[in-house]
Every structure is written in C-alpha cells, then in structure tokens.
Structure 1
Amino acid sequence: MGIIKKGILGGFSGKVGQVVGSSWRGLDVMRSLPKKSNSEPSNEQLEQRQKFGLVVNFLSPLKGMLEKTYGRVSGSKSKFNLALSYHIQEAITGVMPNLEIDFSKVVLSRGELLGPKAATVAVNTVAEINFNWQANSGTGLSSDDDQVIMVLYNPSKKLHVVEQGSTKRVDLSLTLQVPTLFSGDVVHGWMAFLSASGKDSSTSVYLGKVTVL
C-alpha cells in the first residue's frame, strides 16, 4: 500500500491501470490489484473466511457503538477492527463447517470504567426484558450519571436491540421493549456503562439468555 502525498496528481479514487486509489483513515492511498489465484483454498483459509463472515455479520450493525466503546485505538487499527480481531480469535466455537459464535465470550465494550455489579436479566411481561443491577457509583471512575448500554441479540432473527443513554448507573433498573416478532425466541444480553462525557467505557458483561414471552 502506498500513501499519496497530494503531489501534482493529488489523490484519486477507483481503478487506474494496475492500481486502485481510495481513502483510508483520512489518507489517500493506492494498492496494487490482487493477483488471481488458481489454487484451491486450504482448510485453514476456509475456516478463517467462515469465522470472518460470522463475526462481521454479527458486529457490523453495532459498528457505530463499538467505535465509541471498544477500548483505545492501537496503531492503524480502528476500534471496530480491534473488536473483529478479538471475536475471530476468541469467540468462535465448533468445528468446520459447523462454526458459530459463543455468545458468552462476546465483548461489546472495553475500558477502565467500573462495570455493572450483580446485573440480572429477566422476562415477566410480553415483549419486555427487565434488567437490574446494584449500586456501585463513586468507585474508581464510576459516577451516578454514567450511561447504561444494553444490547440484546436474537440469533434466530439475526437482529439486535440496543438501548443507550436513556438510563443512568444510579437508576439500578431498566425495562427494554423488544419487537413482538421476538415472541418465543431466545435472546442474549450484554450490559456496560459509558461515561457522560463519552470518553470512558466499562468492559461489557454477558447477562445470559432468556426466552421472550
């Protein structure tokens, strides 16, 4: 990959000859066209492709959130790329071709902010999920006005429900409405906190799974 320094030609986008121009992290870059391969991919390559596809499909709808909550940027990797790398390496279970995401190992937020204490999830009403947690404000960086982040995922429908900002750490509970089409489905839940400034986040906690009424 080459970086274009805005010389006489400036940056460009698209294919020109044997190179492709594009913008990457605010820089104008150019790459050579990939060479076609006539060889069959190895089992390891096929496995890596399947892992990548699983993780991308799961995380892509959460990209905007992950860019705010997933730790700190490392080198040229964005926060979203850090999340991709972790889940490909640590959150896939099974044997090819029957690979799947291990939701208990999913981490949707990383940071130094104090996480939820004794958080629980329960279903008592149709199309509603109830979350509760215990008070722990004032420890470390934590504050009463830290924003609550709740994420639900329905594997059978491949849909996420995300709630952020309407509830604070001090509230100790949250009732989340879910689509009625979730009725009878199993959903997985995660909880984290984001500081009021949006600069600090906690590492998310997996709350387990429940069946929607």
Structure 2
Amino acid sequence: MAKAPSGPLGALNGKLRNLVFYMLNGQPVVRTIGDPGKPSRGQLANRQAMSVTMEMVSRISEFTNVSFELEARGTVRNAHNLATSYIKKHALKGEYPNISVDYSKVILSNGNLPGANDLKIEKKEKGVLVSWDPSGKQDDTVMILLYHPLEKAAMSVINACRRDAGSYFIDLYEKRLDEPIEAYICFKSANGKAISDSAYIGNLNGAVESAEELSQKQTYALVKQRFDVVEADYLQQIAANYGNPVNTKAFRNLKKEYKVLKDKLEHLPGKPG
C-alpha cells in the first residue's frame, strides 16, 4: 500500500500495484516491479547500451569521483550518475547487438578551467610518457586516466603533478604496456574549486579486439553459415513448388529452423561491419 505522508498533493511512499514510490536524495522516485514481459528490440538495445556503459564506468570511479565532484555538488546527482549519463549519451557507437564505447568521445569532466594543447602519449620501455603544453596557471593539478579495454581495468593518477611540469611518466608492467591503452587528462585548480573539460589524449597499440569480441564473431559466422544453407534449401523448395510452401513435415521443420536462425542473427553480436 502506498501512503501520502505529505497530503494528497505530496509524494507517495510505498507500493501501489506494480509501482514502488520512494525518496532518493530528497527527490520522489517511482519504479516498476514484476515481470515486464518480452522486451522489444529497443529495450534490448537500451539494456546493452547501459551494460556497455557500466562496464567502463565501474572501472573508472576512482577518477570520476574526483573529476565530477564539482559538477555534482549542490545537485541531486552524483559523480556516478554524471559519468554514466555522459558516456551513454555521447560515447557509444554501433547498433544493437553490436554497441560499444567510442573511447575518443568519452567525457570525464566539465569545467571552465583552461585545458592544454599538444597532448601526447608515448610508449617507453617501462611505461608511458604523457605530455602537454605547460602554458597556463602553473600550480594546476594534472589528473590522468589510463583505461585498458582488454582487461577492463583503469589506472587513475589523481594528483600526477603540476601543470608546469609539462609531462608525467606512468610505470606499467609489460603485459599492460603491450595492450591497447586509452588515455585521458584534465586539470584541477590548486584550491580544488575549478576543473577543466577532460581531453582524450589518444590510443596506444591500436583498438585490438578482445577475446569476447573474437568469440562473438566466430559464433556469428557459424550461425550465418548454417543459415545460408537452410535459407537456400528453404527458398529452393518454395520456388520448385511455384512459390508456395511445401505441405510436408520436413518442410515445416525446415521453415521453423529458417525462422529461428534468422531471428537469432538479428540479435546475435559479432556481425561484420
């Protein structure tokens, strides 16, 4: 049963049929419960988009808890909400079921502090060297994030150095040094009251496909191979019967397999291109 503790025009609290009302950070919230039924393609796409987003957000929270702290301050949102929203809205590419992160478009901070030009990342023997044009307020703090897509791991350097240092070396063990790296940077004022927009420094070692992506492509190829055989047989039998379905059990089984495989390919990740 839902109650209205603030009167008939106030926020509800409790359960009303398949709706649950509650307060979150001082704001009234409502969500549905129960079996929502078979999801539509749009719902499946939204779920995958959220899953892909959270896969990155959950690994970079050490960085975003600091980089979004100022933007979240005084609002009902928090750093996690902001990171999730920016990546999901601005940094995804592809269509379901092949949605992935476009790392060059990831936003990790917003602010009016000046950023920097001439951003570079270089691979060295024992790690990576990140560099930038040191022009600007000398004592601004440099924040650097290295994201490793294959391991789904991140290295956050919250207080790397001062802006006027112009560069910062990050030690990495050999395995991570040889895998794809996505690098980001932002600057925070020494008093902590201002931050810059984040900037994408670039990629090292290329956007190599993960084992999961390779497996998905192999699975898709096998299903597609079987579908092509079934489709050819299915269409050939219809053509031989003057465009009409064949009234046999074998054909009905063939038709069923054709439809199952066709539907599976529409939802299976790993499609080329």
TM-score normalized by the length of structure 2: 0.62
The alignment status of 1:72 with 2:71, answered yes or no, reads yes
Greater CA drift, 57-66 or 31-40: 31-40
Partner of 2:97: 97
Q: Contact between 1:116 and 1:191, CA under 8 Å: does it hold in 2?
A: no
Q: Give 1:177-196 correspondences, 5 Å limit.
A: 177-196=171-190
The alignment status of 1:123 with 2:117, answered yes or no, reads no
Q: Contact between 2:63 and 2:156, CA under 8 Å: does it hold in 1?
A: no
Partner of 2:59: 61
Aligned match for 1:207, one of 193, 201, 204: 201
Q: Give 1:131-146 correspondences, 5 Å limit.
A: 131-137=130-136, 143-146=137-140
Residue identity in the other structure for 2:142? V
Q: Contact between 1:2 and 1:30, CA under 8 Å: does it hold in 2?
A: no
Task: Report the 3-state secondary structure (helix = DSSP H, G, I; strand = E; otherwise coil) of the residue aligned with 1:117.
Answer: coil
Greater CA drift, 80-89 or 51-60: 80-89
TM-score normalized by the length of structure 1: 0.79
Greater CA drift, 71-80 or 102-111: 71-80
User: 2: CA distance between counterparts of 1:194 and 1:2?
Assistant: 46
Shift of 1:200: 1.0
Shift of 1:117: 1.7
Q: Contact between 1:4 and 1:30, CA under 8 Å: does it hold in 2?
A: no
Task: Report the 3-state secondary structure (helix = DSSP H, G, I; strand = E; otherwise coil) of the residue aligned with 2:60.
Answer: helix
The alignment status of 1:161 with 2:155, answered yes or no, reads yes
Residues 169-206 of structure 1 deviation map (CA, whole Å, 9 limit, x = unaligned): 01001001123331421111011101112221111111
User: 2: CA distance between counterparts of 1:199 and 1:2?
Assistant: 42
User: 2: CA distance between counterparts of 1:97 and 1:113?
Assistant: 39
Task: Report the 3-state secondary structure (helix = DSSP H, G, I; strand = E; otherwise coil) of the residue aligned with 1:66.
Answer: helix
Q: Contact between 1:129 and 1:175, CA under 8 Å: does it hold in 2?
A: yes
Aligned residues with identical type, % of pairs: 23
Residue identity in the other structure for 1:105? K
Distance 1:177 1:76, change over 3 A: same
User: 2: CA distance between counterparts of 1:95 and 1:182?
Assistant: 29
Distance 1:201 1:30, change over 3 A: closer
Distance 1:118 1:97, change over 3 A: same
Distance 1:198 1:98, change over 3 A: same
The alignment status of 1:82 with 2:66, answered yes or no, reads no
**Normalized per residue, which structure has more helix?**
2
Partner of 1:37: 35
Residue identity in the other structure for 2:115? G
Q: State the superposition RMSD in angstroms.
A: 3.1
Partner of 2:106: 106
> Which one has a bigger Cα radius of gyration?
2
Q: Contact between 1:104 and 1:208, CA under 8 Å: does it hold in 2?
A: yes
User: Any stretches of 5+ residues in structure 1 without a counterpart?
Assistant: 6-14, 138-142
With CA pairs under 8 Å and 6+ residues apart, which has the higher RCO, 1 or 2?
1
Residue identity in the other structure for 2:187? F
Q: Contact between 1:68 and 1:198, CA under 8 Å: does it hold in 2?
A: no
Partner of 1:24: 24
Residue identity in the other structure for 2:88? I
